[in-house]
A = this chain, B = another copy of it.
Amino acid sequence: MRIISISMLGLAALLFIRTATAQTDPLPSWNDGQSKASIVAFVEAVTDKKSKDFVSPTDRLAVFDNDGTLWAEKPFYFQLAFALDRVKALALQRPEWHNKQPFKAVLQGDLAGLLAGNEHALLDILMATHGGMTTIEFEQIVSEWIATSRHPTKNRLYTEMVYQPMLELLVYLRTNGFKTYVVSGGGIEFMRPWVKQIYGIPPEQVVGSSIKVKFELRESGPVLVRIPEIDFIDDKEGKPVGIHKFIGRRPILAFGNSDGDHQMLQWTAAGSGLRFMGLVHHTDGEREWAYDRKSSVGKLDKALDEARARGWTVIDMKHDWKVVFPFEKR
């Protein structure tokens, strides 16, 4: 009786340990496999003081693309949805837009016609909706939009369209002393108002595209006015430039999902010591979307070839992720 008792105690202890281990898995939404293992192996190597790959905490910089890497980007970039909504809102004071392209196409719901147009059409829309107000006014506009607008097909808030496994990865990295950054082709001021709440990343750790800003001393006090002129494009070759400009140091981990992230991954890979380069490959047409080489949004072609040739980690969304979005969790 006594022996059995001890055995049962031992079994209970074993079960407890197993449960505790399962509970403290830092990446519970990742299926076990090569992708998850490569992430964990990297983090363990650079944080182990006895490892030859140890990296001091001040050099543990990790950069993440946003569209298609931290949140979804289909059927089109969420910032474009914001711009189209702004055209509709601003048209109340701009009746002439009903007869003027590219605004007319937006107001008539002719998205196909708009996207088929040249790049100038999109640029005109971005400038008309992102410039002409103070930085504080723009922050309020973004904050209101992001809190209330919903994805056109999933009917979820855009901030719910984030990838649960990537949220876990951000926390896992920070728990291990990493400083996490967003490095996005999207607008820096479109992201800053909500990144802290959604990703746990403070506004100053966002690198992105921007329009010009001008200081003005008004009677009511100083303001910064947004000028409808491109200041910086944080995409492709611009990403290493943006990382250098804003951070001034080379990251040891970079995650992207498209050819727009290719140069950022190359730049990260070219540093000395152990490095981690990751790509989110959109392979899940059921829970999310399946696309790569032929997609107009989030095209992944050359970066995928280089990733496979050099052994970078390519996440297979369908097989590597237990859940995609937080709302799938029970």
Q: How large is the interface on A (under 10, 10 to 19, 20 to 34, 35 or more residues)?
A: 20 to 34
A134, chain B: closest CB distance, angstroms: 11
Q: Which of A44-58 contact B (CB under 8 A)?
A: 58
Asked if A241 is an interface residue, CB under 8 A from chain B, the answer is: yes
With an 8 A cutoff between CB atoms, is A18 at the interface? no
A244-B213, A247-B204, A248-B204 known; A222+B263 contact, CB < 8 A: yes
Q: Which residue of B lies closest to A221 (CB)?
A: B270
How many Å lie between the Cα of A263 and that of B224 in the bound state?
11
Q: How far is the CA of A179 from the CA of B217 in the complex (A)?
A: 27
Contact A217 B248, beta carbon cutoff 8 Å: no
- Say yes or no: A58 contacts B263, CB within 8 Å: no
B222 near A270: Cβ-Cβ < 8 Å: yes
Residue in A135, A203, A244, A270 whose Cβ sees the most chain B Cβ within 10 Å: A244
Partner of A266, one of B192, B217, B238, B247: B217
Cβ proximity bits A189-232 to B, threshold 8 Å, 1 near / 0 not:
10010001000001110100010011101000110100000010
Q: How far is the CB of A55 from chain B (nearest CB, A)?
A: 15
Which residues in chain A, 140-179, are within 8 Å of chain B measured between CB atoms?
179
Q: A61 vs B224: C-alpha distance in the bound complex, in angstroms?
A: 18
Q: Report chain B residues within 8 Å CB of A214.
A: 237, 241
Q: Are B224 and A244 in contact (CB-based, < 8 A)?
A: yes
Mark A218-262 against chain B: 1 for CB-CB distance below 8 A, else 0.
Answer: 000110100000010000011011001111110000000000000
Q: Are A213 and B188 in contact (CB under 8 A)?
A: no
Using Cβ atoms and an 8 Å threshold, which residues of chain B touch A202? 58
Contacting A247 at CB < 8 Å: which of B189, B203, B244?
A: B203
Contact A215 B240 (CB under 8 A): yes
Contact A203 B248 (CB under 8 A): yes
Asked if A289 is an interface residue, CB under 8 A from chain B, the answer is: no
**A42 proximal to B (CB < 8 A):** no
State whether the Cβ of A267 lies closer than 8 Å to any Cβ in chain B: yes
| Residue contact B221 to A241, C-beta cutoff 8 Å | no
B-facing residues in A264-308 (Cβ within 8 Å):
266-267, 270
Q: Are B206 and A248 in contact (CB under 8 A)?
A: yes
A320 CA to B324 CA in the complex, in Å? 59
- The verdict on A215 contacting B203 (CB below 8 Å), with A248-B189, A248-B192 known, is no
Contact A213 B245 (CB under 8 A): yes
Contacts of A188 in B (CB 8 A): 245, 248
Assuming A58-B202, A222-B267, what are 16 further A-B pairs, CB within 8 angstroms?
A: A58-B196, A135-B244, A189-B248, A192-B248, A204-B247, A210-B245, A213-B244, A214-B241, A215-B240, A215-B263, A221-B266, A222-B263, A224-B240, A224-B241, A224-B244, A246-B246
Which 7 pairs, one residue from A and one from B, show the smallest C-beta to C-beta distance? A203-B248, A215-B237, A221-B270, A204-B247, A192-B248, A222-B266, A215-B240
29 contacts between A and B (CB under 8 A): A58-B196, A188-B248, A192-B248, A203-B248, A204-B246, A204-B247, A204-B248, A204-B249, A206-B248, A210-B245, A213-B241, A213-B244, A214-B237, A214-B241, A215-B237, A215-B238, A215-B240, A215-B267, A217-B266, A221-B266, A221-B270, A222-B266, A222-B267, A224-B240, A224-B241, A224-B244, A224-B267, A231-B245, A246-B246
